[in-house]
Amino acid sequence: MKYKNFMPCALDMAKLAFERGEVPVGAVIVKDGEIIASAHNETESSNNASHHAEILAIERACRKLNNKYLIGCDLFVTLEPCAMCAGAIINVKLNRVYIGAEDKLCGAAGGKVNLFEKGLFNHTPEVYFGFSADECSRLLKDFFAQKR
């Protein structure tokens, strides 16, 4: 399969989160070149700190495929996953993770810690940074500037 960048779709989800007063993080999961699930942060609207974009997209993709594993699937996410989301990514065995903005404060793909270090767990996804990084970062900065 030829590679296609789905980060614009993840950014659309992040912008929707922004409009809804959520931290603007968006995620899409792709299988065989098609989006099978998408989500944005919903922690504020659900009063649930675990409702990160990645977790919600993973839940939806697993439901769609009727499988607890997402082997053969890729994740596009606008912000580097936290430790909770990195753990979920490892457990569902996503193939690749494409990341927009780095997160030096809470990132678990190398920003703060690296849970995707080869050999650390039973599964290690390929990780790629820098997809629409400036736009992803700007959206987050604008959101937090508005909150101050």
- Annotation: binding site for Zn(2+): 52, 82, 85
Query: Beta strands of 1-146 (E only): which ranges?
Result: 26-31, 34-40, 73-79, 96-101, 126-129
Q: How far apart are CA 137 and CA 124, in angstroms?
A: 26
As annotated, the binding site includes 52, 82, 85
| Catalytic-labelled residue, pool 22, 42, 54, 102 | 54
Q: How far apart are CA 141 and CA 147, in angstroms?
A: 10
Active-site residue 54, yes or no? yes
Residues annotated as catalytic are: 54
